[in-house]
Amino acid sequence: MPPLPSPGDAAVTGRSEVRHPELAEEGRARMVWARAHMPVLEGLRRRLAPSSPLAGMRLGMVLHLEAKTAVLAETLKALGAQVTATGSNPLSTQDAVAAALAETGVDVAAWHGATPEEYRGCLERVLDARPRLVIDDGGDLVALLHGERSEQAGEILGGAEETTTGVTRLRALERAGRLRFPMIAVNDGRMKHLFDNRYGTGQSVWDGYMRTTNLTVAGKTVVVCGYGWCGKGVALRAAGLGARVIVTEVDPVAAAEAVMEGHRVLPLEQAAPLADVVVTVTGMAGVVTAPHIAAMRDGAVLMNAGHFDVEIDKPALAGASRSVTRVREGIDAYRLKDGRTLYLLAEGRLVNLAAGDGHPVEIMDLTFALQVRCMLRLVQGEPLPPGVHPVPAEVDEEVARAYLAAGGWEIDRLTEAQVRYRSEWEAGT
């Protein structure tokens, strides 16, 4: 692979480029811990690795590069794939994990704090490996395959998208008639959004907040902007931790759901002055803007859990400030010209990944088992046409059954009489 445009002092290890190869042992330990709590993915590896179902497949992966992701990459490699991996956000890459993963034979090009140019170079690096399969998180790799690297789009057998933002971008491409290959919307799988988006984000956002601030959630007024699956989880767990939750929404159905769940619902302009903590989780740009900043309480905390760092208007925050200082790791104090101070966590990037380890391990076990199953579907099933495809229902069900089995949970089966009863309804008799 050619060198990156500006790799800084990244270390080249074999075909990989990582920042701190000396941290590999620490990264390995994190991977061992994660793997030990990913029984569904491990079950797939144990059963499938002997037959190498992905033998010879070049696979390009752009995912938040932390320990669970490394376990996924290792699993895909054990199934025969040649994997090239980079991170999907420069602040979520863990250098120790990148170093450890590079030692497993996966090609890695990623480091924490990569500049936008370096980040882009790492995406290019993934495409330089000429992948036939892609796993994307947020849609940047697929965007490149429809832009500057569109000459490679025809080589792609298919891929899978991890997150809501990425699926939104894919659907826009599809609507415009431009999507060149099949992409499975893993995000929309039942075993994904009901768990990862809701319970995963619900826990990891508050984990990121608590690690970073060492402050309580209990007794706080928390404003959750956006009540999609992620917002539902963030609000649910905030309430569970003892916060008073206010939800802001633009979708009346989602807002009605928040009301019925017991949350207060207000426009953000009315909610902002009440907030101790504001968390954005909308997938939209320009959510917390100058008027909200002007109305917020002294000492309020701002954080984002959406994919891109565009939900909190950082230029407006900086413009309203006379100084910005780092007061604790991951916390910037914006001293406003009127004397108030607002605290921004993780530079407005995904707080759960930039200031934490991402979702809990058992949650990513489910999501990444879906990813593996979807890769197998692309390789083994009837070829899929270009477009956005759902996770096959049997894949969701298989992952759910494996999760239940790993936890020792059993469920009922329909009796023969019930099967007959249902088929009579279905036959209209």
Q: Which positions touch ligand ADE (CB under 6 A)?
A: 63-64, 66, 68-69, 137, 162-163, 200, 353, 358-359, 364
Query: Residue 245: phi, psi to the nearest 5?
Result: -105, 130
Distance CA 48, CA 283 (A): 36
Beta carbon nearer to ligand ADE, 353 or 400: 353
* Residue 256 Cβ vs ligand ADE, minimum distance, rounded to whole Å: 27
3-state secondary structure of 386: coil
* Residue 91 Cβ vs ligand ADE, minimum distance, rounded to whole Å: 13
Beta carbon nearer to ligand ADE, 163 or 321: 163
Distances 176 to 120, 168, 387 between C-alpha atoms, Å: 25, 13, 11
Q: Which element (helix H / strand E) includes 328?
A: strand 321-328
Distance CA 103, CA 244 (A): 47
* Residue 246 Cβ vs ligand ADE, minimum distance, rounded to whole Å: 25
* Residue 230 Cβ vs ligand ADE, minimum distance, rounded to whole Å: 9
Distances 27 to 167, 301, 351 between C-alpha atoms, Å: 30, 31, 21
Side chain identity, residue 251: D
Q: CB neighbours of 38 closer than 8 A, spacing ≥ 6? A: 68, 71, 361, 362, 364, 365, 368
Beta carbon nearer to ligand ADE, 157 or 361: 361
* Residue 95 Cβ vs ligand ADE, minimum distance, rounded to whole Å: 15
Output the furthest CA–CA distance in the chain (Å, rounded): 74
Instruction: Specify the pairing of strand 221-225 against strand 244-248.
Output: parallel
* Residue 31 Cβ vs ligand ADE, minimum distance, rounded to whole Å: 13
Sheet containing strand 321-328, edge to edge, reads 264-265, 244-248, 221-225, 277-280, 301-304, 341-345, 331-336, 321-328
Beta carbon nearer to ligand ADE, 118 or 365: 365
* Residue 66 Cβ vs ligand ADE, minimum distance, rounded to whole Å: 5
Beta carbon nearer to ligand ADE, 351 or 378: 351
Which residue of the chain is nearest ligand ADE when measured via CB?
358
Beta carbon nearer to ligand ADE, 186 or 245: 186
Side chain identity, residue 196: D
Beta carbon nearer to ligand ADE, 200 or 233: 200
Do 122 and 4 contact (CB within 8 A), yes or no?
A: yes
Beta carbon nearer to ligand ADE, 113 or 291: 113
* Residue 307 Cβ vs ligand ADE, minimum distance, rounded to whole Å: 8
